[in-house]
């Protein structure tokens, strides 16, 4: 199994991605580094630990990371994820408190203990923690095999501004540092994540499986509808990162040279700039039915993908 670290701000869709990763024997989740984003840092760390307790995997460490973006005030909660960050879905209390070490120190030690290029970071929130590693320990950061990050919008409109997506807009300076770091980055923008959508019917199928992780995912999807009851489906943003890690052939990527709006431009807007941009592999298209099928099979324990 491939060693991975999940950097996350759970978050309803983060939680679904985490449950998929924990259910996937291809992925060896070494730890979860948490970041402020959908909700404050105490709550995202606590939710990561609650998900591990639910999965019976509390040996996996949870590390507390950045409490706020590199050089901006913390994000306004979107309200989509409820007061507890997981839409009120029932999860057990954490079995362990978060580790004492900082997320960045822990990540650096993990990378130094593994062969260079083997550890992948699956990033589901603002990129503050990863950027801090790049800034504080640049030579250690180069040992990351690849960062697969949910964020940004290329042709699609943004979700927090005309062109800005929440994860990148929350900490655009961090995204810029990560994109320019020289570490391979695969970005999964709204152009793809808005195509991979859960319907109530999809949730009902998961619930009917009676597999605990799938039943809990069905509850999370139902909770995701609470803030948008009139909608027929909800986008599964963060799980797309895990789906791409498991089955890259379901996605079509293009290398784009991207700059991140940090100054007078809209914060977090991504611009393609052949001259100044940093090369980022961007997932532009997805086989959505196959991606949903993989999510369902992964959560219900049907193997063979
Ligand atoms: C991203 O923002 C968060 O609300 C979600 O968890 C996802 O990571 C989508 O823009
Ligand atoms: Ca997230």
Confidence of residue 305 (pLDDT cuts 50, 70, 90): very low
Ligand 1, closest atom to CA 38? 4
DSSP state for residue 71 in the 8-state scheme: S
State residue 302's pLDDT score.
86
Q: Is the pLDDT of residue 6 over 80?
A: yes
Q: Above pLDDT 90, what percent of the chain?
A: 91
Q: Is the pLDDT of residue 48 over 60?
A: yes
Mean pLDDT, the chain, rounded, equals: 96
Expressed in angstroms and rounded, the spacing between residue 62 Cα and the centre of ligand 2 is 16
Q: Whose atoms come closest to the Cα of 236: which ligand?
A: 1
Is the Cβ atom of 158 under 6 angstroms away from ligand 1?
no
- ipTM exceeding cut-off 0.85 for this assembly: yes
Q: What average pLDDT does the segment 8-24 reach?
A: 98
Confidence of residue 304 (pLDDT cuts 50, 70, 90): low
Token pair of 53, please? Answer: 């307790």
Could you give phi then psi for residue 222, rounded to 5 degrees?
-60, -40
State residue 288's pLDDT score.
98
Kind and range of the H or E element at 284? strand 278-286
Distance CA 140, CA 275 (A): 28
| 155 labelled catalytic | no
Q: Angle at the Cα of 77 (from 72 to 82), degrees rounded to 5?
A: 160
Is the Cβ atom of 271 under 6 angstroms away from ligand 1?
no
Residue among 9, 195, 283 to mutate when testing ligand 1 (max atoms within 8 A of CB): 9
Q: What average pLDDT does the segment 292-299 reach?
A: 98
Expressed in angstroms and rounded, the spacing between residue 41 Cα and the centre of ligand 2 is 12
Distance CA 292, CA 197 (A): 8
Q: Whose atoms come closest to the Cα of 75: which ligand?
A: 1
DSSP state for residue 208 in the 8-state scheme: H
Q: Above pLDDT 70, what percent of the chain?
A: 98
The neighbourhood of ligand 2, an ion, using CB within 5 A, equals 9, 11, 14, 124-125, 238
Least confident of 28-32, 82-86, 115-119: 82-86
Residue among 124, 175, 189, 269 to mutate when testing ligand 1 (max atoms within 8 A of CB): 124
Beta strands in 115-155 (DSSP E): 119-123, 144-150
């Amino acid at each position: 199994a491939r060693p991975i670290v999940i950097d996350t701000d759970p978050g309803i869709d983060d939680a679904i991605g985490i449950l998929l990763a924990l259910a996937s024997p291809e992925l060896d989740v070494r730890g979860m580094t948490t970041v402020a984003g959908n909700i404050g840092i105490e709550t995202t760390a606590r939710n990561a630990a609650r998900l591990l307790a639910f999965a019976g995997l509390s040996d996996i460490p949870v590390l507390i990371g950045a409490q706020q973006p590199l050089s901006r005030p913390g994000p306004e909660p979107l309200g989509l994820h409820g007061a507890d960050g997981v839409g009120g879905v029932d999860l057990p209390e954490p079995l362990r408190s978060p580790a004492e070490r900082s997320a960045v120190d822990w990540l650096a030690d993990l990378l130094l203990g593994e062969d260079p290029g083997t550890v992948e970071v699956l990033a589901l929130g603002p990129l503050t923690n990863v950027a801090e590693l790049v800034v504080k320990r640049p030579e250690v950061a180069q040992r990351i095999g690849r960062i697969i990050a949910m964020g940004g919008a290329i042709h699609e409109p943004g979700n927090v501004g005309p062109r800005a997506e929440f994860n990148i807009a929350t900490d655009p300076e961090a995204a810029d540092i990560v994109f320019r770091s020289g570490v391979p980055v695969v970005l999964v923008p709204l152009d793809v994540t808005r195509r991979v959508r859960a319907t109530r019917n999809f949730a009902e199928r998961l619930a009917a499986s009676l597999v605990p992780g799938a039943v809990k995912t069905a509850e999370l999807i139902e909770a995701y509808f609470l803030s948008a009851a009139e909608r027929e489906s909800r986008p599964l943003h963060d799980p797309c990162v895990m789906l791409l890690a498991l089955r890259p052939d379901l996605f079509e990527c293009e290398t784009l040279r991207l700059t991140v709006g940090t100054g007078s431009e809209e914060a977090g807007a991504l611009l393609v700039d052949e001259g100044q941009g940093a090369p980022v592999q961007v997932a532009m298209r997805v086989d959505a039915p196959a991606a949903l099928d993989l999510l369902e099979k992964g959560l219900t324990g049907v193997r063979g993908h």
